[in-house]
Amino acid sequence: MKQLIELTINNRVYEVPVSPKDLLADVIRDKVRLTGTKKGCGQGDCGACTVLIDGEPVLSCLTLAIACQEKKIDTIEGLVAEDGQLHPIQQAYVDHGAVQCGFCTPGMILTSKALLDRNPKPSEEEIKRGISGNICRCTGYKKIVEAIFAAGETISTAGVK
Amino acid sequence: MNKDFTQVGRSVPRKDGPIKVKGEAIYTGDMVLPRMAYGKIKRSPYAHAIIKKIDYSKALEMPGVLAVVTGDEAPNKWGIVPQTANEVALAVGKVRFYNEGVAAVAAIDEETAEAALDLIEVEYEPLPVLTDPFESMKRANEVRIHEDAPENILHSGDQLFGDPDKAFAECTYILEREFSTSYVNHAFLEPHTSLASYDTQSGQLQLWSSTQVPHYLHTQLSIVLEMPMSKIRVTVPAVGGGFGGKGEASSSDFCAALLSRKIGRPVRIVFERSEVFATNKGRHPCHMKVKIGLDKDGYIQAVDFDNTMDGGAYAGWGIVVMFYTASMIHLPYKVPNARANVRRVYTNKPTCGAMRGLGGVQPRFAMECMLDEMAEMIGISPYELKMKNAVESGYRSVSNLHVPHTEYKKCLQTAAERSGYLEKHGKLPFGKGIGLAGGYYISGTAYTLYQSYKPHTTVLLRVDTEGGATLHCAAADIGQGCNTVMAQMAAEALGIRYEDVHVISGDTELGTFDLGSFASRLTYASGVAIKEAAKQINDKLFEVAAGMVGCRADQLEVKDCRFFSKFEPKKTIEWAKVVDVYTNSVGTLTGLGHFSPPRLKGIDLTRGKRVQGANIGHSPTFGFSCQIWEVDVDLETGKIRVDKVTEAGDCGQAVNPMSVDGQVEGSILFAMGQALYEEMKVAPDGKIINASLHDYKVPTAMELPEIDTTIVDSYDPTAPFGVKESGEGPVQPTIPAITNAIYDAIGVRFTDLPITPEKVLKALKEKREKEKSEGK
C-alpha cells in the first residue's frame, strides 16, 4: 500500500507516494529525481548514497523513506549557493583534483560537510576516520583529504556554512 | 626538445569537475526515457550445469511483465578477441559459472521484473565443478568446460628468445621461485549499467552504456543482434570507473538491447553489486615458476618464465593477457635470453579479463621480488642490482620491443634519494622494513584485434565562429580525465587556451573512431592525431592571418590566442578574429588526424625467427616508475601498517601534472588492495562467498599512507608533446615493493597474495620454530 508522505529535501517539501519498504535512496533518485545521490552497492558498504539527515551523514540505501518525515534531508544538489556558486568544499574538490570518475563524489562531499560542520579544523587522522565509510576507487584518497583540509581552512576563515 | 608549452604541463582542473561535484553529471543509471522499461537477469544457481529446459510462461502471465528473452534467441558468440569469441548474451544449453545469466525480463518497473525472475523455471543437470586450474587440466578427460577445448585450456604459448639453457649454464647466480597471485575484482563504484532504445520503425538502436570501449561494444552488439553497425549508436554518459572491468561488452548491454528490440521501447538494466562480482573480468590468478640467472657481475643473462593462469569460464581478454605476461619479462631490465611457457586454463568461475596494468602486475611481482633476493645472494643492494640492469634509451629487447626513451634510472635514483632507501635498507629494527621495486608499462599501443592495421584513433578538429574549437573523438572518459587532457593538447597545438576547447567524446556517431580507454593508449594516440589535425587547421589560418598582419605565413607563430610574426612581434592579431574572417568567407574549418601504432614483427632478434604471440605489446614508447614502501609489521597481530610510499615516475611530459599525481596515488591504493587485502573467495561449488563490498575488502582512507610522488623530468622526443602513460605503469611496482619491505622487516619472503595478518603470523611462528630448531 502506498501512502503520500512529505519529505523535506534541500529546504523544499516534496509530496511523494511511497510504500513502507521504499528506501530513501530510491525515493530521492527515482521519485524526486535528484540523481546526484548514487547507488554503488545497495548494501550500505560503499557510501555513495550518503545524504545528510538533520546534518548527520546517513546511508540512504539502508534508510526507509517513511522514517524520514519531518526531518531535514540534504542531498548534493542542495549544496550550491543560490547564486550558483560552488560550496567551498565543492570548489576545493575541483581545485585539488579530488574528483576522477565522480561516482563517490556526492556522498564523499556530504560526508566531508558533516565532518567540517562538526570540526572545521580537523587533523589528517580525523579526516581519514571521517571519510572511512566512503569508498573511492580512483583517487587513492590523498587529494580528497587535501581538499577537505583546504575547505576547512576556507570555511573557518570566511565563516561560510 | 620543445618544452616551451603553455597548455600542456598545466595542472588545470578537469573539465567535468564542476558538474560532478554538483551531482549534475549524468551516468547511465540516472537516465529515464519515456516508456522506459526495467530489465533484470535470471541467474544460474549452479557453476556448471546443462540447461535442460527453461519455462517462462508463468513470468509472461504476470501483470506488468513485457518480455522475456533467453540465450536461444541470440546464440551468436561474441568475444573481445575475435579469434577466441565464445561468450553469449545469455547461456545457451549450458552454464559455466555460478550466477551466469540464463534469461532476462523486461517489466514496467524494477520490482515487477525482479518478482518475475522467480517465476522463470529452469531445469538443470548439474555437472562437476572445476575451480582450480591444475585440477581442471588434470580432469579434462572427464569434465570438459568447452567442447572445443579438450584439455580445458583456452590457449598456450611458448616463446624462446636466444639460448637461455646455454646462458644459465654459464651463470654464477641462479634463483628459482614459485609465485601465485589472487583472484581480484576492479570494484569500480558504478555497477555496469545499460540503457537501450530501439526504434521499431527505423530499425535504429541507441545504447547508452557505462563502458570503456564504445567501439568494441558497438562491434559486439552488431554480432549478437545481427544488425549492421551503421544501425547502432553507442553513447557513453559519465562512467563511474572501469579499471578494465568495463573494457568488454557486458551482458547488461546485450540483454537491454535484445529486450528493447523485442518490445520497441527503452529498457534499462542496472547491475546489483553481486552481479558485478558474478560477471567479474578481473585480474587472472597466476601460478608462476620463474628462474633468473645472473653472471658473476650481477648482469641478468637469462629468464625462464612458466605461467599457469586461471581464466575462469570464458575467453574474454585471456589470450591477450596471457601473451602480455610473457612479453612483460623483457623490460625494464636488459634480458638477453628468455623463455616463456604460458597457458590459460578454463575453470567454472566468473571469467578473468583486463584489469589495470594487465599482464604486467603478476610477472612484476615475481621478478622484482626475486631480484631483491638475488641482490642479497650477491651481497649488493637491490638498488644497485636494478640500476645495473636497467634499460636505457634506444634499447631494443631480444623480443624486438623498442624503447625509444626512458628515464627509468632517474626514477630509481629519485625514489631512493627521497626515501633514504640506501641508509635504511637492512638497518631498520625488526618489524620495520623498506622495500624497492620498479616497473614499466606500454604506452600508445593496443593489440590489433582485427589483424588489420586501420588507425586506432581518429580526431576531428572543427574551428569556426560558432563553436570556437571543438574536438570530436569517440574516446571514453571513464574518470581518468582524457577529455581534459585531449583539450589541453588541442589547445597547445592550436595556440589557444584549454578552457576554449569543447570536447565531444564517447559517442560512436558524433565522435570519430577510437578503440577505447584501455592499454594506457589514449594520451599518446590522441596526441598524434590531434597534432596532425591541428596542423591542417593552422596551415589555413596562418595564410589568412599573414594577409591580415602583413607578413609571410611561414614567419607566423600562434600562442596565447594570438598570431604574431616571429621577427616583428608587433605584427599580431587575435586568433578569434582570424577565425571570424576565415569562417565568414570560406566556412567551417576542419582538420582530421589519425594514429596507428608502429607495426613491428615479434621476432627473435638473435636468430631472426618469428615468435608466436610476441607482437603483443609492441608499443611506440613505455612509461617507467619506481616505488619504495616503508612498512611496520605488528608482531602480535600480523597486521601490516604502511608508513610511507615514495614514488618517482617517468610519464614523459606530463600533460596535466595534477591528473598524473591522481593516477599515481590511485594506482598505489588500488594495487595495495591486491597486495594486502583483496581476494574473491570461491567455494568448492563455484559460488563466490564474498561478493559484496562488505566482505571484499578494498582500501579505505584509513589505509592511506603518506605518499610522496615525483614526476621525473622527462620528454620523449618521439612522442607527441613528449608524452607517455601514467595510468597503469604505477600499479606495477606496488606489490613487490610491499613484499620486499615486509622481508626487510621480518625476514620472510612471501610469494602468494594477499599478504594477510594470518599469513604473517603463521610465517613468523614458522620462522621462530625454525630458528629454535637450528639453535639460533
Q: Is B765 helix (H, G, I), strand (E, B) or coil?
A: helix
User: Closest to B698 (Cβ–Cβ): which among A34, A35, A137?
Assistant: A137
Residue A10 lies in a domain: yes
Q: Is B571 helix (H, G, I), strand (E, B) or coil?
A: coil
Same domain for A72 and A111? no
Which neighbouring-strand residues pair with B640?
B633
Residue range B87-111: mean pLDDT, rounded: 98
Query: Nearest chain B Cα to A39, which residue?
Result: B190
User: Closest to B23 (Cβ–Cβ): which among A75, A128, A144?
Assistant: A75
The pair phi, psi for residue B567, each rounded to 5°, is -100, -30
Contact status, residue B155 vs residue B148, Cβ threshold 8 Å: no
Contact status, residue B346 vs residue B87, Cβ threshold 8 Å: no
> Over 80: is that where the pLDDT of B506 sits?
yes
* pLDDT cut 70: percent of chain B above it: 98
- For position B762, what pLDDT does the model report? 98
Closest CA to B42 of B351, B259, B283, B324: B259
Class for domain B286-447+603-771, per CATH?
Answer: alpha beta
- For position B759, what pLDDT does the model report? 98
Contact list, A79 vs chain B (CB under 8 Å): 22
| The three three-digit cell numbers of residue B66, written as one number | 513485457
Same domain for A61 and A109? no
User: Do A145 and B701 count as a contact with CB atoms less than 8 A apart?
Assistant: yes
Same domain for A74 and A92? no
Rounded to a whole number of angstroms, the distance from the CA of B99 to the nearest CA of chain A is 17
> Over 60: is that where the pLDDT of B524 sits?
yes
- For position B738, what pLDDT does the model report? 98
Alpha-carbon span B240 to A108, nearest angstrom: 14
CA Rg, chain B, in Å? 27
User: If pLDDT is split at 50, 70 and 90, which confidence band does B616 have?
Assistant: low
> Over 50: is that where the pLDDT of A105 sits?
yes
Q: Is B27 helix (H, G, I), strand (E, B) or coil?
A: strand
Contact list, B662 vs chain A (CB under 8 Å): 97, 100, 138-140, 143
pTM recorded for the entire structure:
0.97
Closest CA to B211 of B196, B199, B226: B196
The domain in which residue A63 lies consists of: 3-78
> Over 70: is that where the pLDDT of B450 sits?
no
Same domain for A69 and A93? no
Alpha-carbon span A12 to B42, nearest angstrom: 40
Tens digits of residue pLDDT in B273-302: 999 999 999 999 999 999 999 999 999 999
> Over 50: is that where the pLDDT of B715 sits?
yes
- For B72-109, b where at least 16 C-beta lie within 10 A, e where not — what string? eebeebbbbbeebbbbbbbbbebbbbbbbbbbbbbbbe
Closest CA to B654 of B646, B664, B644: B664
User: Do A94 and B18 count as a contact with CB atoms less than 8 A apart?
Assistant: yes
Residue range B687-707: mean pLDDT, rounded: 97
Alpha-carbon span B503 to B236, nearest angstrom: 13
Same domain for A69 and A122? no
Residue range A47-73: mean pLDDT, rounded: 98
User: Closest to B187 (Cβ–Cβ): which among A109, A133, A137?
Assistant: A137
User: Do A38 and B189 count as a contact with CB atoms less than 8 A apart?
Assistant: yes
Same domain for A7 and A73? yes
CATH 3.40.50.720 fits domain B17-24+455-595: no
Alpha-carbon span B554 to B596, nearest angstrom: 29
Neighbours of B66 (CB within 10 A): 21
Pairing of strands B101-107, B65-70: antiparallel
Q: How far from B560 is each of A101, B5, B12, B486, B654, CA to CA, in Å?
A: 30, 10, 16, 17, 20
Cα–chain center distance at B694: 24
Rounded to a whole number of angstroms, the distance from the CA of A41 to the nearest CA of chain B is 5
Alpha-helical segments (H) within B569-631: 575-585
User: If pLDDT is split at 50, 70 and 90, which confidence band does A161 have?
Assistant: low
Same domain for A7 and A65? yes
CA atoms within 13 A on the CB side of B136: 31
Among the listed ranges B170-184, B214-228, B433-447, B695-709, which one has the minimum average pLDDT value? B433-447
Predicted interface score ipTM higher than 0.85: yes
Among the listed ranges B255-269, B509-523, B755-769, which one has the minimum average pLDDT value? B509-523
The mean predicted confidence, pLDDT, of chain A is: 96
- For position B48, what pLDDT does the model report? 98
Name the residue ranges covered by the structural domains of chain B: 17-24+455-595, 31-127+189-241+246-279, 286-447+603-771
> Over 80: is that where the pLDDT of B201 sits?
yes
User: Closest to A46 (Cβ–Cβ): which among B32, B189, B478?
Assistant: B189
Contact status, residue B330 vs residue B397, Cβ threshold 8 Å: yes
Rounded to a whole number of angstroms, the distance from the CA of B669 to the nearest CA of chain A is 5
- For position B775, what pLDDT does the model report? 79
CA atoms within 13 A on the CB side of B600: 26
Test mutation, A99, A126, A134, A149, chain B, max B CBs within 10 A: A99
Using omega within 30 degrees of 0 as the cis cutoff, is the peptide bond preceding B75 cis?
no
Contact list, A106 vs chain B (CB under 8 Å): 21, 23
Residues B31-127+189-241+246-279, CATH architecture: Alpha-Beta Complex (3.90)
User: Do B240 and A101 count as a contact with CB atoms less than 8 A apart?
Assistant: yes
DSSP string over B493-527: HHTS-GGGEEEE-SBTTTSPPB--S-TT-HHHHHH
User: Do B188 and A135 count as a contact with CB atoms less than 8 A apart?
Assistant: no
User: Do A137 and B670 count as a contact with CB atoms less than 8 A apart?
Assistant: yes
Test mutation, B16, B40, B189, B700, chain A, max A CBs within 10 A: B189
* DSSP 8-state secondary structure symbol assigned to residue B405: -
User: What is the SS3 string spanning B620-679?
Assistant: CEEEEEEEEEEEEECCCCCCEEEEEEEEEEECECCCCHHHHHHHHHHHHHHHHHHHHCCC
User: Closest to B272 (Cβ–Cβ): which among A42, A105, A135?
Assistant: A42
Closest CA to B257 of B476, B37, B87: B37
Alpha-carbon span B560 to B165, nearest angstrom: 60
Length of chain B: 776
The two counts, helices (H) then strands (E), for chain B are 19, 30
Q: How far from B151 is each of B85, B313, B769, CA to CA, in Å?
A: 18, 14, 42
Test mutation, A96, A103, A110, A129, chain B, max B CBs within 10 A: A103
Residue A83 lies in a domain: no
Specify the long-range contacts of residues B462-465, CB closer than 8 Å, at least 24 apart: B462/B588, B462/B589, B462/B590, B463/B494, B463/B537, B463/B541, B463/B579, B463/B582, B463/B588, B463/B589, B463/B590, B463/B591, B464/B579, B464/B583, B464/B587, B464/B588, B464/B589, B465/B579, B465/B580, B465/B583, B465/B584
Residue A94 lies in a domain: yes
> Over 90: is that where the pLDDT of B615 sits?
no
Q: Is B378 helix (H, G, I), strand (E, B) or coil?
A: helix
- Under 8 Å CB pairs connecting chains A and B tally to 177
Same domain for A63 and A93? no
Cα–chain center distance at A119: 17
Residue range B365-373: mean pLDDT, rounded: 98
| The three three-digit cell numbers of residue B407, written as one number | 628515464
Closest CA to B456 of B526, B403, B506: B526
Contact status, residue B469 vs residue B490, Cβ threshold 8 Å: yes
User: Do B238 and A101 count as a contact with CB atoms less than 8 A apart?
Assistant: yes
Neighbours of B769 (CB within 10 A): 10
Query: Nearest chain A Cα to B699, which residue?
Result: A135
Closest CA to B442 of B598, B335, B282, B283: B598
User: Do B479 and A138 count as a contact with CB atoms less than 8 A apart?
Assistant: yes
| The three three-digit cell numbers of residue A90, written as one number | 565543492
User: If pLDDT is split at 50, 70 and 90, which confidence band does B1 have?
Assistant: very low
Domain boundary among A78, A106, A122: A78
Domain count, chain A: 2
Q: How far from B629 is each of B139, B656, B667, B738, CA to CA, in Å?
A: 42, 25, 14, 6
Using omega within 30 degrees of 0 as the cis cutoff, is the peptide bond preceding B657 cis?
no
Using the Cα atoms of residue B418, residue B424, residue B426 and residue B429 in order, give the sign of their dihedral.
negative
Test mutation, A100, A124, A129, chain B, max B CBs within 10 A: A100
User: Do A45 and B692 count as a contact with CB atoms less than 8 A apart?
Assistant: yes
Query: Nearest chain B Cα to A125, which residue?
Result: B702
> Over 80: is that where the pLDDT of A153 sits?
yes
Length of chain A: 161
Same domain for A58 and A115? no
CA atoms within 13 A on the CB side of B498: 22
Specify the long-range contacts of residues B373-380, CB closer than 8 Å, at least 24 apart: B373/B175, B373/B177, B373/B749, B374/B173, B374/B175, B374/B292, B374/B294, B374/B298, B375/B298, B377/B173, B377/B175, B378/B173, B378/B294, B378/B298, B380/B298
Same domain for A61 and A99? no
- For position B605, what pLDDT does the model report? 78
Same fold, B17-24+455-595 and B286-447+603-771: yes
Domain boundary among A13, A46, A78: A78
Tens digits of residue pLDDT in B215-262: 999 999 999 999 999 999 999 999 999 999 999 999 999 999 999 999
User: If pLDDT is split at 50, 70 and 90, which confidence band does B776 have?
Assistant: low
The mean predicted confidence, pLDDT, of chain B is: 96
DSSP string over B390-402: B--TTEE-TT--E
Residue range B359-384: mean pLDDT, rounded: 98
CA Rg, chain A, in Å? 15
Residue type, B41: I
Query: Nearest chain A Cα to B659, which residue?
Result: A97
